[in-house]
Structure 1
Amino acid sequence: MKLIQKIGILLFLVGIGTFTLIPFLGSYQLDKKTVLENTKDIHQEKMSEVLEPMYGEVYNSNFGFISAFKTNFNNYNDGLKEQSLWDQVIWDDYSFPLAKAALSSPVKENPWLFLMLSIGLAAIGGLLYNLPKHRDEPAGVKNNGVFHSAMKNRGWMGMITGAYLILFYIILYWFPAYIVNLVSMVDPVSMILSGNPASQWFLYGLIYTLAILVMGIRMFRKYRGNRYQQLRTASVMFFQTAFAFLIPEILVLFNQPYFDFKNIWPLDYDFFYDYQIDTFLSAGGVGMFMLIWGILLIIIGVPVFTYFFGKRWYCSWVCGCGGLAETVGDPYRQLSDKSLKAWKYERVIIHSVLVLAVVMTLLTIVNYFSGFSLLGNVTNQLHSFYGFAIGSAFAGVVGTGFYPFMGNRVWCRFGCPLAAYLGLVQRFKSRFRITTNGGQCISCGNCSTYCEMGIDVRWYAQRGQNIVRSSCVGCGVCSSVCPRGVLKLENNSEEGRINELPIIIGNDSIKLNA
C-alpha cells in the first residue's frame, strides 16, 4: 500500500509539473486575418491597423507576444485618452482571444496527450494516493500528526501550496492570456460538451470538478463508517459534477443560456444584471423558467429549506464552494481561527458584503425597469468593484488560495453573502441546532479543533448549551470526532432551541446568546 501511495505522489507531482510547464511551450504569430476573426465587428478595422506592426513577427514566448500586444494596444488607447476621445477608446481586452488564435504549439496539436500528461496524471496520482489510506485501520476519524505536518500546519509545503494556488488564481482571473496553452489543451473536452472552444472558465471548471471528485474519494476513506459524512460527500460531488459543470455546458450545446440551477443570489451576484435578464428573456420558455426558478430559490427556497434543515442543506450538501472546502480543503480545517476576535471580524465583514450585494442589486433592478440611470454611473462602478474585490479577489484568490494559511472556509466564513443570508434565517427562524450533553464532555477539544467555521464548540459542549450560531454549516465533523457522543445534529421544533443552561459543575451560570 505504501508503494502505491508513493507512485501516486510521483504521478501527481509529474502531472502538476507538466501543467506548470505547458504555458511556456510554443510560439505566437499574428496576421490580419486572425485579428479580424477574433475581434468585434466595430473594432475590426481599427484593431487590424493598431496591431499591424506585429504581423509576420514570430514570438517564442507568451511574454514577448503579450508585451508587444500591450505596447501597440496601449499606445493607441493612451493617445485617445490624452485627447479625451473616450468614445473611440477600445475598452475590450483582446489579449486572450488573439493570443489563443496566434498560438502554435505541440499542446494545441496534441491536446489529448498533454491533457493526460498533466491533469490526467495529477488526478490518477491523487486517486492512487487516497484509495489505500486508512485501509488497515479501524473505522473512525484519525488526524494523527496533523499539527506536525509540513503540509497541514502552515509548514513549508503548505506555504508553497498556498502560493501556487494564489498565483494560479491571479493569472486565471486577470492574466488569462498567459495560459492560452492550458485552455487550448481542454478545447476537445469543451467541444464535446458545449460545441464551443474552451475559455479559461471551462479550464477552471474542469479542474475544480476533478479536484472535488478525487478528494471526495479521500473523504470516503477518511469517514468510512460514518454514513452522514459519506452521503454529504456524495452529494457535493454530484451537484458539482452535474449541476455546476455538465448541465450548463450541455445547455449551451442546445443553444440555451449557460445556467447553474443550484447557484443562488447573492452568491450568483450578477443574476439581476441587465445582460443576464436580457439573456433569460430572449431565450423563450427555457430562459423564463431559469429566471423564475432563480427568483423562487431566493424568496421561497432559501427560507423554507433553511427553516427545516438549517443552512447545511446548501453549504454542506449542494454548494460548489462548500464542496471544494469540504474535499480539497479538508486537510486544513483545523487551521480556522476560533478566537473571539476572529468571530467579531467575521460578523462585520460577511454582513457588510451582504449589504453591498443587496444595495448593488437594488440599484441594478431600478435602473433596468425605470428607464433612467439612477445615481449616474454608480451602478456600473459597483458592478466593477464587486466583481473585482468580492467575486474575484475574495472568493477566488483568498477564498481558495488561503486554505493552507487560514483554513478551508475563509470565503464561507468572511465573504459569502449567501452564507450570511442563510445564516440569518438559521439563527432566528430554523428548526436546526446542534444539541450538547455537558455531563458527558471531557473537554478533549476535538470538536473545536476541527470546526472549519471557527466555532469554539467545546465552549458550548462544556455547558450543555445548544449551538445555534449563524455561521454553523452543519458539516457534522464536530460530532464525528467527539469520543463521547456529546454532540448531535437535530432538526426539531423551535421550542427550546435556544437554551440557557447552567454550567454542570459550579455555582455560577454562564450564558451565551449568539
Structure 2
Amino acid sequence: MNSRAGTVKQLKTAVWMYLILGFLIAGLNVGLKPMLGILQGERITLIYELFETIGRTAFVLYGGILMFKLYSKRHIYRRKSIAGFMVMMSLLFVLLPVMTGYYEFVYAFMPFPWSTYPLQLLYDGHFLHSNVGAAFGGRGAEVMLTVYVAFQVLVYGAVAIKGRRIFCSMICPYGGCHAETFSEALPLVLHFDKGRDKVNQTLKLFLLTLKMFLITANMLLILLWIIALAGASFINVDILRTFELVKYLSLELMLFLALYLFLNGRGYCYYCPAGTMLSFWGLLFGHGIETNHSECVSCASCNKQCEMNINIMKSAQKGRKIQSSLCVECGHCIDACPTKTLQLKGYRKEHDQVKNED
C-alpha cells in the first residue's frame, strides 16, 4: 500500500469512528437520557457536550493533519481552509468552553436563520430542552444573547467584505469543518470518479427541495416565536420546541451524517438555511468566482473538484462570473485550474500565491 492510500485509509477509519460515536452519543442523549434519573441524565449530557466540543475538534485536527499530507502547498485555498477550521474549532470549542466552563456555544456560532436560538432565550432562557439561563451564575441568557449578536455582526460583516468563503470554508463549526478535513475519505460506501456526475440529479433536486422546506420552516418558526414573545397565549412553545428538535435531529443531524456514506462532506451545504442566507448576502456585495484572468482550456479540472456540482467550466469558457447560491467559495477549483483563470473577489494575494506555486 502506497503512502497516499495508507493516509486515506487512516482518514476513512477516523470518519467511521466519528459517525459511530456521533450516532451513539446523540442517541443516548435523546433516547436514553429522559428515562434516567437526574444525576445519570446530567452525566449523559456532559458526555454529549464534551463530544460536540472537544471530541469533534479532535477529529477536525486529526483529519486536518492527514489532509495536509495529501495536498501539497500549491493547494493554497484548500490548505488555508483546513488551517482556518483547525484554529477556529480549537479556539471556539476547546479553549472557550474550558475557560468558561460552558460547553453549549455551538448554537450561538451558527448564522441567522439557522435556528430560533435568540428568540427562545428571550422567551424564557431555554433553548430546546437546555436551560441556558442557569449558566454563568444565572446570567446565561444575557451572556449567550450577547455572544450570538456579536457573532452575527462579525460574520455578516466579514462576508460582506470577503464573501461566503470566510464562514462556509473557514469557520463553520457544523458542516464545513468536517467537509474540508474529511474530504478525501468521502463518500465512505459508494465510490465514484470526480466530476460533475458525482451528484445524482434526482438527489440534487431532493436536497434543493429540502432547502426550500427548511428555509420556510425556519422562517415560520421565527414568526411564531415573535408572536409568542408579543404575549400571544394561543402559541404552544412546547410544540414549537419539539418540532424544531425533531427537525434538527432528523434533517440536520442524522441525514447530514448519512450523506457521508454516499455523497460527500458538503451534502448538508446543499440545503443549509444559514449558508443560503450568507450566499445571498455575499452576492449583494458582488462576491463570486471571476473566470476571466486568462484563457480557459476546457480541461474540466475545476468541475472535477467542485463538490457542489456547479458547472464552473461552462462559465469560464464564456468568461462569465460564477455567482451561485450553492458555491461555498472553497477555492478547490482555483487550486486545480492549470491556466489560473479563476479568482475569488477580494483574494488577490491567494490567487497570486497559487500562480507562483504552480
* TM-score > 0.5, shorter chain as reference: yes
- Give the equivalent residue in structure 1 for 2:273: 417
Conserved 8 A contact 1:272-1:365? yes
Conserved 8 A contact 2:195-2:303? no
Letter in 2 for 1:354: I
Letter in 2 for 1:453: M
- Give the equivalent residue in structure 2 for 1:310: 163
For the residue of structure 2 that corresponds to 1:199, the secondary structure is helix
Conserved 8 A contact 2:294-2:340? no
| Count of aligned pairs | 323
Note the 1:137-286 alignment, pairs <5 A: 169-176=22-29, 198-226=46-74, 227-252=76-101, 258-260=104-106, 262-273=109-120, 274-276=124-126, 279-280=132-133, 283=136
Q: How far 1:204 moved relative to its partner?
A: 4.5
For the residue of structure 2 that corresponds to 1:474, the secondary structure is coil
Letter in 2 for 1:358: M
Per-residue Cα deviation, 1:310-333 (whole angstroms, up to 9, x for no partner): 111111110122011111134438
- Give the equivalent residue in structure 2 for 1:402: 259
- Give the equivalent residue in structure 2 for 1:294: 148
- Give the equivalent residue in structure 2 for 1:319: 172
Moved more, 398-407 or 262-271: 262-271
For the residue of structure 2 that corresponds to 1:198, the secondary structure is helix
Q: Alignment identity in percent? A: 22
Return 5+ residue gaps in structure 1 as ranges.
Answer: 17-121, 127-160, 181-189, 493-514
Equivalent of 1:366 in 220, 223, 227? 227
Letter in 1 for 2:177: G
> Quick one: distance in 2 between partners of 1:7 and 1:410?
23
Letter in 1 for 2:64: G
> Quick one: distance in 2 between partners of 1:304 and 1:8?
37
> Using a 3 Å threshold, how does the CA distance of structure 1 residues 240 and 170 change in structure 2: closer, same or farther?
same
Conserved 8 A contact 2:306-2:332? yes
Per-residue Cα deviation, 1:345-379 (whole angstroms, up to 9, x for no partner): 44443233122112212322332x333433x43x4
Match status 1:393 vs 2:250: yes
> Quick one: distance in 2 between partners of 1:316 and 1:387?
26
Conserved 8 A contact 2:11-2:182? no
Structure with bigger RCO (C-alpha 8 Å, 6+ apart): 2
Match status 1:462 vs 2:317: yes
- Give the equivalent residue in structure 2 for 1:471: 326
Return 5+ residue gaps in structure 2 as ranges.
Answer: 34-41, 188-193, 348-358
> Quick one: distance in 2 between partners of 1:348 and 1:421?
16
Per-residue Cα deviation, 1:474-508 (whole angstroms, up to 9, x for no partner): 1100011111212111139xxxxxxxxxxxxxxxx
Letter in 2 for 1:237: M
Equivalent of 1:483 in 331, 338, 353? 338
Letter in 1 for 2:105: F
> Quick one: distance in 2 between partners of 1:343 and 1:269?
27
* Length-normalised TM-score, structure 1: 0.54
Note the 1:333-372 alignment, pairs <5 A: 334=194, 337=198, 344-367=205-228, 369-372=229-232
- Give the equivalent residue in structure 1 for 2:356: none
